[in-house]
Amino acid sequence: MKLPQRAVLIVLLSAACVGCDRLGKVLARQALSESDKLSYLNDIFRLQYMENQGAFLSIWSNASENFRFWFFIISVGLFLAGVLIFLLTSKKISGAETAGLSLILGGGIGNLIDRVFNDGHVIDFMNVGIGSLRTGVFNVADIAISVGGVLLLACAFKNRETAS
């Protein structure tokens, strides 16, 4: 994929992720209080407002503020800059790999914006499950990161099969 086409794909996917994530978080903050839970599809899907100062499933939420700053803001920011540089300079990257990394980039930027402007916290508001078997509370950025990761895994398996 040539750089101009790749740049358009990167900008479109990343901007769409950030825009949808910001919109979801703004609406969640306005419509849900920390005590409200809206339940849909016989409680399979819930909307509930939560602020997470840790990582996935609140990992490291009890870590020191200094650690969280360096890990969740500085390290993540550097990682995302590295992803963008790789996307723009890589000579042999497919459209699917570009899409996967762009989703990770957009989702990462969405959560980084939260951390920078929301005192180190990320706004989460969606939860899925049946009965007591439930996911953690997540947001649109988390979905983009997960889909991007799955897409990269699929590309890796495809490339492995092609090389064999």
For residue 8, the one-letter residue type is V
pLDDT, tens only, 42-77? 999 999 999 999 887 778 888 888 999 999 999 999
Question: Residue 76's pLDDT is what?
Answer: 96
**Contacts of residue 25, Cβ cutoff 8 Å, sequence gap at least 6:** 110, 114, 123, 125, 139, 140
pLDDT at 35: 73
Question: What are the structure tokens assigned to 130, written together?
Answer: 């049946």
- Backbone φ and ψ for 130, nearest 5 degrees, come out as -130, 120
Domain of residue 57: give its range: 3-163
Residues assigned a catalytic role: 124, 142
Which of 28, 17, 20, 50 lies closest to 146 in space, CA to CA?
17
What is the tens place of the pLDDT at every residue in 92-133? Answer: 899 999 999 999 999 999 999 999 999 999 999 999 999 999
Contact 23, 139 (CB under 8 A): no
Structural domains counted in the chain: 1
The one-letter code for the residue type at 70 is: W
The answer to whether 132 and 53 have CB atoms below 8 angstroms apart is no
Band of the pLDDT at 163, cuts 50, 70, 90? confident
The first and second tokens of residue 6, run together, are 């790749």
Distance, CA of 91 to CA of 97 (rounded, Å): 12
Q: Is the overall model pTM greater than 0.75, yes or no?
A: yes
